[in-house]
């Protein structure tokens, strides 16, 4: 008996479908894309039972005749070859003729369409990939596609569905993204009889349209906090709306990224955006609609079956352009960039710490060697050398500690105030990266392993990263489906139980796919986070310890900022102090 068997067609089609159609929102995304590709000016969507009952998309696009309808359901059937001049750009947009075929394999599907010039409309219906009926239909312009009873024949897949609420929010996000990227098209979304979105087609220019759509989609308060960003480098343009630093949110719920106006989820774009904010994020999250325009040859949307993830040919360039654009627009040109439509949205940053950041702001440097959260990105430079005390060269006299947080030194005739945690983080960060780059991370086994409870998806990510984490000095094991154990860690760090859980949870969110991120970015991320979460000595007040910290800090590449970009120290010169006492500078 031969052991190799050829799989029957229906099994093959279900496997293929499983890759393309992960959840109801993936069906909806494909159907909306097809409507847009067909030149629709209107897309009406009806959903029942979180998409498991029915997903119905009606458009007024160019339609299909009888022959088209039959072909559309076949594998690798696509009419889009003649729209593009070359196969490569076709492929990069993800036109693989697999979507309808895949949806058909796992649902009860009905296509109804009319193509101007045909003798009548037609409909074709079937289930699980088998055509059951073909009938004439009314000559109504456009196409209606109804996918009912999704996953009716793949119960295992059905079981993986999240809650109705979670699926609904994916469905809504799918429509929102299509609407943000296609303002000239009207969208209406009805879920279980209730109208969720009703967005008329907009006639205006790009920015006016984008703002209008954003206002409708983000809601008033998030919208009011958005600023316009725009930047260009050769071969690439970035534009969009992002939260002002004083209007950040608690979650990443309102983030939308697009490449050539197709929605994507790209860890690289997200990290670039976050990097653009640098130290202004403070653990919070911007809302955004970020559009990247690239030559079709510069990315590939096909690496992911659902075409959501993209591979860029020049990741560094894209990272830099996005982060620099955001950074420059938010900081350097903040007056211009916050002047958005609504009057209340035009107000300036009011956060008290912003003026300090503005003073510290300098043109982004391309280098990645300093402690930026996400590697190659703009860095804040310290104020010019002339304003800096000469604390590196001269002797410091330790005066004492303030509020268990700040170390005070006499330096250069003035007062040097050091944020002890920020300074420690900077020192740890560079020590760790130095060990890492030499392949010599000193590892300390833990007598009692630390536990972290994770979500299943986080756990999956952590497992993917396990080998790499080991090279970074973290030995991680799994216990049960969703508990991670830390058995050994770099000797430089100490974690509390909750801090370790936060550390892993955070990493599993930001790191994405192990093989995709550049090594130095991964290292920077892990080093930054580990330094942040590691327990630091709280009240070391002994002069030798304080002075040793300053010795260590002196040797770092960026003594003036912690790895997150916060300042480590400031200096009050003798003159400053004298002025306070109205003694005049000569004193």
Shorter beta-carbon distance to ligand ADP: residue 69 or 281 = 69
Q: Is 77 in the site for ligand ADP (CB under 6 A)?
A: yes
Q: What, of Mg ion, ligand ADP, none, does residue 173 touch, CB below 5 to 8 Å by kind?
A: none
Name the minimum Å distance from CB 490 to ligand ADP: 47
What would you report as the CA-atom Rg of the chain, rounded to the nearest whole angstrom? 28
What's the CA gap between 527 and 533, in Å, rounded?
10
Joined tokens for residue 161: 């569905």
Pick from 99, 171, 272, 331 the residue near Mg ion by CB under 5 A: 99
Residue (of 225, 230, 289, 226) closest to 257 by Cα position: 289
What's the CA gap between 49 and 38, in Å, rounded?
27
Q: What, of Mg ion, ligand ADP, none, does residue 38 touch, CB below 5 to 8 Å by kind?
A: ligand ADP
What's the CA gap between 415 and 472, in Å, rounded?
39
Q: What, of ligand ADP, Mg ion, none, does residue 254 touch, CB below 5 to 8 Å by kind?
A: none
Pick from 14, 44, 95, 407 the residue near ligand ADP by CB under 6 A: 95
Q: Is 38 in the site for ligand ADP (CB under 6 A)?
A: yes
Pick from 14, 52, 56, 96 the residue near ligand ADP by CB under 6 A: 96
Q: Is 34 in the site for Mg ion (CB under 5 A)?
A: yes
Q: Which stretch binds Mg ion (CB under 5 A): 28-36, 161-169, 337-345, 475-483?
A: 28-36
Name the minimum Å distance from CB 126 to Mg ion: 18
Q: Is 118 in the site for ligand ADP (CB under 6 A)?
A: no
Joined tokens for residue 564: 């997150």
Q: Is 217 in the site for Mg ion (CB under 5 A)?
A: no
- Phi (first) and psi of residue 399, to 5 degrees: -100, -30
Pick from 26, 143, 254, 324 the residue near ligand ADP by CB under 6 A: 143
Provide the mask over 345-374, with x wherever binding to Mg ion is found by CB under 5 A and - wherever it is not.
------------------------------
Helix axes 519-533, 420-437, angle to 10 degrees: 140
Residue (of 95, 239, 243) closest to 181 by Cα position: 239
Name the minimum Å distance from CB 143 to ligand ADP: 4
Burial profile 108-143: b = 16 or more Cβ within 10 angstroms, e = fewer? bbbbbbbbeebeebbbbbbbbbeeeeeeeeeeebbb
Q: Is 43 in the site for Mg ion (CB under 5 A)?
A: no
Shorter beta-carbon distance to ligand ADP: residue 147 or 247 = 147
Shorter beta-carbon distance to ligand ADP: residue 59 or 315 = 59
Q: Is 35 in the site for Mg ion (CB under 5 A)?
A: no
Q: What, of ligand ADP, Mg ion, none, does residue 13 touch, CB below 5 to 8 Å by kind?
A: none
Distances, alpha carbon 300 to alpha carbons 92, 295, 313, in Å? 5, 11, 8
Shorter beta-carbon distance to ligand ADP: residue 145 or 422 = 145
What's the CA gap between 231 and 324, in Å, rounded?
8
Shorter beta-carbon distance to ligand ADP: residue 95 or 432 = 95
Pick from 50, 54, 99, 259 the residue near ligand ADP by CB under 6 A: 99
Pick from 72, 423, 489, 510 the residue near ligand ADP by CB under 6 A: 72
3-state secondary structure of 310: coil
What's the CA gap between 251 and 557, in Å, rounded?
33
How many residues bind ligand ADP (CB under 6 A)? The answer is: 22
Pick from 17, 28, 55, 100 the residue near ligand ADP by CB under 6 A: 100
Q: Which stretch binds Mg ion (CB under 5 A): 96-104, 195-203, 234-242, 485-493?
A: 96-104
41-60 residues near ligand ADP, rule: CB under 6 A: 59
Strand order in the sheet with 226-233: 226-233, 236-243, 288-294, 255-259, 262-264
Name the minimum Å distance from CB 145 to ligand ADP: 6
Q: Is residue 73 within 8 Å of residue 131, measured between CB atoms?
A: yes
Shorter beta-carbon distance to Mg ion: residue 20 or 562 = 20
Name the minimum Å distance from CB 73 to ligand ADP: 8
What's the CA gap between 247 and 239, in Å, rounded?
19
Q: What, of ligand ADP, Mg ion, none, does residue 563 touch, CB below 5 to 8 Å by kind?
A: none
Q: 370 has which bridge partners?
A: none
Q: 488 has which bridge partners?
A: 445, 475
DSSP 193-233: TEEEEEE----S-HHHHHHHHHHHHH-HHHHHTEEEEEEEE
Name the minimum Å distance from CB 507 to ligand ADP: 35
Secondary structure letter of residue 527 according to DSSP: H
Name the minimum Å distance from CB 570 to ligand ADP: 58
What's the CA gap between 521 and 269, in Å, rounded?
13
What's the CA gap between 416 and 178, in Å, rounded?
53
State the alpha helices, DSSP H only, in 2-44.
Answer: 9-20, 24-37
Give Cβ neighbours of residue 220 (< 8 Å, ≥ 6 apart).
Answer: none
Q: Rounded to a whole number, what is the largest CA-CA distance in the chain?
A: 101
Name the minimum Å distance from CB 466 to Mg ion: 36
Q: Is 112 in the site for ligand ADP (CB under 6 A)?
A: no
Pick from 23, 29, 30, 409 the residue near ligand ADP by CB under 6 A: 30
Q: Is 187 in the site for ligand ADP (CB under 6 A)?
A: no
Name the minimum Å distance from CB 74 to ligand ADP: 8
Shorter beta-carbon distance to ligand ADP: residue 35 or 271 = 35
- Phi (first) and psi of residue 573, to 5 degrees: -75, 165
What's the CA gap between 525 and 528, in Å, rounded?
5
Judged by the rule CB under 6 A, the positions of this chain that interact with ligand ADP are: 30, 34-35, 38, 59, 61-64, 72, 77-80, 95-101, 143
The contact set with Mg ion (CB under 5 A) reads 34, 99
């Amino acid at each position: 008996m031969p052991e190799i068997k050829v799989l029957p067609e229906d099994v093959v089609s279900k496997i293929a479908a499983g890759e393309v159609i992960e959840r109801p929102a993936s069906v909806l995304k494909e159907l909306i894309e097809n409507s847009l590709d067909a030149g629709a000016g209107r897309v009406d969507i009806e959903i029942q039972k979180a998409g498991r009952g029915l997903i119905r998309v009606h458009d007024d696009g160019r339609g299909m005749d009888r022959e088209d309808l039959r072909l559309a359901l076949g594998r690798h059937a696509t009419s889009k070859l003649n729209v593009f001049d070359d196969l490569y750009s076709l492929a990069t947009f993800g036109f693989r003729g697999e979507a309808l075929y895949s949806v058909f394999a796992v649902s009860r599907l009905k296509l109804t369409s009319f193509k101007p010039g045909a003798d009548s409309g037609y409909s074709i219906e079937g289930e699980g990939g088998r055509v059951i009926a073909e009938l004439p239909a009314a000559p109504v312009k456009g196409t209606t596609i109804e996918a009912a009873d999704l996953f009716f024949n793949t119960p295992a897949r059905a079981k993986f569905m999240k809650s109705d609420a979670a699926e609904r929010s994916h469905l809504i996000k799918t429509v929102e993204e299509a609407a943000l990227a296609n303002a000239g098209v009207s969208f209406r979304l009805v879920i279980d009889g209730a109208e969720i979105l009703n967005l008329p087609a907009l006639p205006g220019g790009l920015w006016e349209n984008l703002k209008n759509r954003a206002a409708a989609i983000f809601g008033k308060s998030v919208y009011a906090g958005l600023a316009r960003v725009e930047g260009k480098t050769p071969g690439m343009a970035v534009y969009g709306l992002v939260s002002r630093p004083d209007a950040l949110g608690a979650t990443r719920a309102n983030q939308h990224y697009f490449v050539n106006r197709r929605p994507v989820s790209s860890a690289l774009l997200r990290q670039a955006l976050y990097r653009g904010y640098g130290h202004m994020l403070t653990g919070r999250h911007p809302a955004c609609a970020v559009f990247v325009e690239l030559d079709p040859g510069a990315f590939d949307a096909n690496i992911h079956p659902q075409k959501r993830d993209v591979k860029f040919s020049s990741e560094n360039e894209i990272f830099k352009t996005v982060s620099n654009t955001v950074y420059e627009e938010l900081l350097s040109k903040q007056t211009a960039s916050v002047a958005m439509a609504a009057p209340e949205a035009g107000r300036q940053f009011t956060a008290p710490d912003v003026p300090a950041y503005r003073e510290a702001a300098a043109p982004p440097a391309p280098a990645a060697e300093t402690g930026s959260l996400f590697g190659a990105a703009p860095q804040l430079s310290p104020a010019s050398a002339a304003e800096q005390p000469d604390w590196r060269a001269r002797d410091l006299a330790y005066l004492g500690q303030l509020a268990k947080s700040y170390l005070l030194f006499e330096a250069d005739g003035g007062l040097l105030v050091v944020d002890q945690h920020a300074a420690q983080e900077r020192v740890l960060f560079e020590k760790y990266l130095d060990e890492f780059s030499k392949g010599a991370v000193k590892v300390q086994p833990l007598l009692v392993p630390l536990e972290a409870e994770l979500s299943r998806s986080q756990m999956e990510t952590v497992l993917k990263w396990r080998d790499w984490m080991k090279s970074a000095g973290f030995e991680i094991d799994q216990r049960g489906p969703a508990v991670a154990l830390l058995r050994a860690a770099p000797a430089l760090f100490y974690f509390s139980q909750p801090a370790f859980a936060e550390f892993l949870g955070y990493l599993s969110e930001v790191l994405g796919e192990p093989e995709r991120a550049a090594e130095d970015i991964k290292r920077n991320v892990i080093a930054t986070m580990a330094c942040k979460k590691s327990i630091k000595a709280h009240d070391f007040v002994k002069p030798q310890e304080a002075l040793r910290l300053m010795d260590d800090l002196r040797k770092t590449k960026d003594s003036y900022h912690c790895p997150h970009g916060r300042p480590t120290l400031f200096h009050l010169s003798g003159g400053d102090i004298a002025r306070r006492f109205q003694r005049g500078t000569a004193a």
